[in-house]
Amino acid sequence: MIYLNAFKANASLIQKFGEGNAYLAWAMALYLDCPDTEQLAISSLTDNGNDKKIDFIHLDWDLKRIVFAQGYYSSRKVDSAPANKASDLNTASAWLLSGDLNEVPEKLKAIIIDCRKALENGDIEQIDLLYVHNLPESVNVSKELNTAAAYLEKSLSRDLNIKVFSRELGTETLDRLYSAQESSIAVKETILCPAKVQFTEEGPSWKSAILSVPGTWLRDLFNKYSDDLFSANYRGFLGITKRRKINTGIRQSAESDPNNFWVYNNGITILTLSFDETKSTNTTLQGISIINGAQTTGSIGSVDLTKHDLKTVKVLCRVIQCSDANTISQIVKYNNTQNEITTWDQYSNSSEQKRIADEFKNLGYDYSLKRGFSSSSIGLGIEQVIQPMLAFSGEFQSASRGKNSLFERRSSYEQAFKDKKARHILFVHTLSKSIDARKLELKTRQNSNRLLSLEEKQISLFRNLRFKNFLIAIIGRCLESILDEKTDLAQVAFTPDTANAKNKSINDLIALWLPVVTTVLAYVANSTNKDLSELLSEDNVLNNIATSVSTAIYTNQLTNPNPVLTSFKNFVSPKG
């Protein structure tokens, strides 16, 4: 399996988390299209003997979903994964929705509270139950997953309109996901389309045809291939709920006015490896991915055929044949017109972002303007840095929002990137990664029963999802005391020599930050005497805590200088 070789190439991830946990995190990063596997592992793996059958849990604010999983990793080649691990998701669901929080481990309590609040507030539209393993998939596991999904769906209030989705992520699915991520087309079968080509157009590396396809054909495709049908699309089908009014409207048009659907709808665009007119009434497609029209396809796919007839529904369809990777990337980008995507692309292709990318190139680093699972091998790119950059500027509450919402807000984007230099972004990015490293250190010490009493408070703070961004903001405010020099918070950066990849690697820069993070974290833990959720809701919490910590650092540096903090200033340009 190609994907297994790709996973095993992640030596650092495997060393830090162990092969089983690393596999679960890597698979979930692939499934969630997440660019930073290590951070996902730190924030979402439970890694505890009393985990209430929840091995992984993730609250996705952007896509309004909760994802939780059971993981199983076998060192032996057997026919299938144990089905009882899939049935454990019943227990996991019960703890997620209604389990006694007094019996939930502290490291799980905060995320479960956040998930319950999101459910109560109507912020969740989908819950994914996943069983992740490295063995062939089986019918027995599917049965258990379907049972778990039905149990959870029954436990949820109908008024919430939440879709429960279950999936076995074994070798077949993960290999397909990885291949789709590499080639853009997951459905590689020969597909017979019951429509003839009306006319064609050709370009340097592409050929296109216009067809008028039956709605019943699209419905059959959607119900057969589900999300795989949209592998090259930035977003899959978003669902039919009270909050997805456009999709409800599409479905209602197909149901109530099928003869006019063709003129009401914008149509769809299909990417294929090749197409061929086999007969005057049919067209053969070698592989298929719908790159524009996921909502149209999914809405038609959700029509109840026992109540509505789709035989007269026709949809305008453009088929594009292309095998050039760069051209495919551009085709996919420009055919996705949802507001969130065009807003993101507007920034990722801006002259400002290209300037930042050029500056990083001069320093010896790749800065990715793309988003998703493999956007950057070192986790350095527009998607990964926007939240730490906002937090460092003091906007820790905004930084804790979903990334899509940040790119939708012009003010948030400008706060993070306007007039920012690559060396400053590198400074903040490695601070963020150093905090992840410190959290991992604490978790490792806790799991081996070596956690000091003073460190118990520190690790408890990380259970609040907003704490990392809050800590970044605190460290920013304390820099003058650490550096013993007036500091420009918007420009402070590593010195040019330090920031150059020839002299310091990303890991070297993270290591430079680690003593600073460890010191400030200890002071912050000592300065917080209230429940963190309550504390973070106070208006002046950042100023109050930062002033207390900064004063303590300044005083201690005067009377008993910490050599680690003193040496850190040698690598920093306080004014950029």
Region label for 228, one of left (φ > 0), alpha (ψ between -120 and 50) or beta (otherwise): alpha
pLDDT confidence band for 18 (50 / 70 / 90): very high
Q: With beta carbons less than 8 A apart as the criterion, state whether 476 and 484 touch.
A: no
* Domain of 174, in residue numbers: 2-178
Amino acid at 334: Y
- Say whether 237 sits in a helix, a strand or coil: coil
pLDDT at site 28? 95
pLDDT classification of 310: cutoffs 50, 70, 90: confident
In the chain, the number of structural domains is 3
My answer on whether 118 and 260 are in the same domain is no
| Closest to 446 in 3D by CA, of 458, 436, 431 | 458
Report the distance separating Cα 559 and Cα 534, nearest Å.
Answer: 34
Q: Are residues 123 and 174 in the same domain?
A: yes
The confidence band for 426, taking pLDDT boundaries of 50, 70 and 90, is very high
Report pLDDT for 372.
Answer: 67
Q: How confident is the model at residue 254 (pLDDT cuts 50, 70, 90)?
A: confident
Q: What share of the chain in percent tops pLDDT 70?
A: 90
| Full-model pTM | 0.74
Is the same domain home to 400 and 533? yes
* Co-location of 449 and 500 in the same domain: yes
Is 244's pLDDT higher than 60?
A: no
Q: What tens digit of pLDDT does each residue of 391-409 get?
A: 999 999 998 887 777 877 8
pLDDT tens for each residue of 55-81: 999 998 888 899 999 999 998 888 889
- Whether 6 and 104 map to the same domain: the answer is yes
Q: What is the pLDDT of residue 339?
A: 42
pLDDT of residue 547: 94
Cβ pair 282, 292 in contact under 8 A: no
Comparing 89-103, 324-338, 436-450, which segment has the lowest mean pLDDT? 324-338
159 and 248 co-located in one domain: no
141 and 222 fall within a common domain: no
Q: What is the largest CA-CA distance in the chain?
A: 89
pLDDT at residue number 246: 46
- Of 296, 314, 337, which marks where a domain is finished? 337
Same domain, 475 and 360: yes
Residues 424 and 397 in one domain: yes
Q: Are residues 126 and 262 in the same domain?
A: no
User: Measuring CA to CA, how many Å separate 573 from each of 489, 494, 562?
Assistant: 11, 6, 19
Same domain for 441 and 350, yes or no, is yes
* Boundary residue ending a domain (317, 337, 357): 337
**Boundary residue ending a domain (295, 320, 337):** 337
